[in-house]
Structure 1
């Protein structure tokens, strides 16, 4: 990220302060994650129809291959150019590799840029972007596919990628910008002192000041311990593991619903790709609560927000099993339950994302600062693991045991996940005993 800042090393880049600002960096990382998730989810509502129309898969095999395709998680743009199942799966696998890089580097960059006091708010914006990507992508994918056809969907993806690349080229990382900003401040102070005192020796110190600034920047970025020791330390923290488990479960629930809802709405309500996309609309609106939830997490911690999310998501997920008839009551019930899932998800996503940073840094905000990138690499693995298991669990359970079983089985997973969240998230649970 920030390639344009490397072209001119002898003078500060244009608009240095703006391009290295926390706001622009958080916006860029949020958009990068949104784009990555969008490319994953944009084909969700069109898979059941394109598998039959373009590849010729029989109707009774559609749910199986939809689940497999979402589990592979890959480059939808490559998939859009061919009519063979093998190339489709290869494309989805390649996108998974790019997703790992985007999430790990992007989240670590945000943590390096934003103050610890505002980590929750920043992660709230990113969680909103991620939720929007998860939910807007099927909505727009279904609408564009229904109105403009298959290739119009991928033209939309190319437009998003163009904006994403432009933003990544514009930003300048703080550690790169700091050398210019610190040098400018030091030289400005030296100029004032030289004018006031008339001492020419201060002018000669400018170069040494700049060299010291560069040296300090390098010292800050040096790793503090070998990667394997960092990994062992991270995996030995119950608080960190609880955050990873919560992330895994949240991704599992999201992708399980993504793999089953489009086909379910087609089977029960007879909806086409447009209806399959619109069914995700009730889950989209609550995702805008992300920044607000993040600010609450900054002030009160993530424990009770995330615990509330898991506990109250349970009845909404379980009650999805009652949607089984083509009636107006069942349509209203489905929309209401999905809205409840969206609200509780907003209480989980941002706080757990910020909890990764809080659990690694500790109370003083400095311990383990060099572990952030590796911590978010594990976070991405947990999310990807949930994205792998979710479609398989949702799709194949639906095929073998029915939609009702999907509802209560997911509900059990969500409810059980509240236990480690209450006990360890935000620090170990402390119980006061009277007497």
Structure 2
């Protein structure tokens, strides 16, 4: 019996049952995304010292070099994500091999960062790291979708994003602590160790569709329909409604070569899909904004060192971590519109209130301890909003793409989920990059309170957009199937 399972393998692997279990698959994909984002943040606090001490970059050029390295990462992630999506959908018998190749890119980048002696080598390392992130997110979410189905995607993605977001928020603090205590060896040793664990999990994982090839067909029994006219009528109504809904998702025959080869681009005429993608961008932008500004506020307002500043992420990440699965369940139960609208509406006052600990009138009335407590509580309030908006984007976009696929199977070889999540991954990477740049620039020019006011305005616009465009495909499923008793 074998351990690795390729698409052409005919021998059942050892431990097939637990290796193909949905929980193990979800954990493996979640670990992959966690390691990717964790390593991204782990290196951030080390870069200034690495550039100055090892590569001897002049102090005046360090900030610009760091910005360039961040831009290289974002560019690679944005470029690799849609390509990974297209290739994953074209060669979809098993996605394990490209999933593993993404990890090879991540390991290569970590080794280059650990050993690199020039800015060029570091740029190559960050490029490989960005490309790895694009591959991991794109293929990983497609695997999740195929494993849990659209009906369970909300709570699954809510849980995953909670877990992943905590890694992204705390990794810079851990990186700084490791560097202070152990130097470069400790930082990169932890990174390579996490990649090793991730590699073992990805090799062991068996996709559900691959596992089905080894299952023994069950003997079927005659299917005798029950004599229930009411249920038959109800089922007929539901089928009729489903057909009518799918008809609205019909696409015209592509007229040029590009759309014939890539019919997925025709889906961007749907305002709900565009809004869902925008929601994902806003989620990443907000996370990047908090990552960039909270440590600075902690240092300037409360004279915190890096370790204490990191502790301020506990209420923010803790609320997101604990409530993400709950809001994900709500998305599955009540639809994407409610969580999207209320989540972004909640963030409007929550972001505005973050200015209080920096306002002179408040500072004069409260001592340092109460100011810190106030700021921590306000971060927790914002964490609730972040938890609410963590899963609607993926669920809404996945539902729309599923309907387009069902209505246009002659245009698609198979459901183009990987292409969708490639676009989502690209937008997510862009949000994580733009967030710190926008937040940092606004904070320097108009102050921390006004910076959050701008972010609150963006959240308000997003909430209104969600009212208008999110969840429209969920309407009309129930009203026309009412029967008189």
1:50, CA displacement in angstroms? 6.0
**Secondary structure of the corresponding residue to residue 318 of structure 1:** helix
Contact 1:63–1:395 under 8 Å retained in 2: no
1:247, CA displacement in angstroms? 0.6
* CA spacing shift, 1:378–1:140, aligned 2, 3 Å: same
Paired residues for 1:109-148 under 5 Å: 109-148=143-182
1:275, CA displacement in angstroms? 2.3
Contact 1:142–1:276 under 8 Å retained in 2: no
Query: Which of 381, 393, 416 is the equivalent residue of 1:352?
Result: 393
Q: Matches of 1:288 and 1:413 in 2, distance apart?
A: 25
**Secondary structure of the corresponding residue to residue 14 of structure 1:** coil
Question: Does residue 91 in structure 1 map to residue 142 in structure 2?
Answer: no
Query: Which of 266, 274, 283 is the equivalent residue of 1:233?
Result: 266
Contact 2:52–2:62 under 8 Å retained in 1: yes
Q: Matches of 1:164 and 1:428 in 2, distance apart?
A: 37
**TM-score w.r.t. length of structure 2:** 0.72
1:360, CA displacement in angstroms? 1.4
* CA spacing shift, 1:269–1:68, aligned 2, 3 Å: farther
- Structure-2 residue corresponding to 1:337: 378
- Structure-2 residue corresponding to 1:425: 470
Paired residues for 1:242-391 under 5 Å: 242-286=275-319, 287-324=321-358, 327-362=368-403, 370-391=415-436
* CA spacing shift, 1:55–1:249, aligned 2, 3 Å: farther
154-163 or 367-376: which moved more?
367-376
**Secondary structure of the corresponding residue to residue 42 of structure 1:** helix
- Structure-2 residue corresponding to 1:31: 31
252-261 or 343-352: which moved more?
252-261
Q: Matches of 1:343 and 1:271 in 2, distance apart?
A: 24
Q: Matches of 1:121 and 1:394 in 2, distance apart?
A: 30
- Alignment gaps of 5+ in structure 2: 75-108, 221-252, 477-485
1:180, CA displacement in angstroms? 1.2
Query: Which of 440, 458, 466 is the equivalent residue of 1:413?
Result: 458
Contact 2:41–2:172 under 8 Å retained in 1: yes
Deviations 1:268-291 (A, max 9, x none): 333332123222222121122222
- Alignment gaps of 5+ in structure 1: 191-223
Paired residues for 1:60-99 under 5 Å: 69-73=69-73, 75=109, 78-82=112-116, 84-99=118-133
Q: Matches of 1:229 and 1:7 in 2, distance apart?
A: 25
**TM-score w.r.t. length of structure 1:** 0.80
Paired residues for 1:134-213 under 5 Å: 134-181=168-215, 184-185=216-217, 189=219
Q: CA RMSD in A?
A: 3.4
* CA spacing shift, 1:160–1:413, aligned 2, 3 Å: same
1:36, CA displacement in angstroms? 0.8
Q: Matches of 1:55 and 1:269 in 2, distance apart?
A: 33
Deviations 1:109-137 (A, max 9, x none): 11111133212122122212221222232
| Number of residue pairs the alignment of both structures matches | 394
**Secondary structure of the corresponding residue to residue 12 of structure 2:** coil
Q: Matches of 1:61 and 1:399 in 2, distance apart?
A: 20
* CA spacing shift, 1:346–1:48, aligned 2, 3 Å: farther
1:330, CA displacement in angstroms? 3.0
1:179, CA displacement in angstroms? 1.4
401-410 or 58-67: which moved more?
58-67
Contact 2:28–2:201 under 8 Å retained in 1: yes
* CA spacing shift, 1:337–1:405, aligned 2, 3 Å: same
Contact 1:145–1:273 under 8 Å retained in 2: no
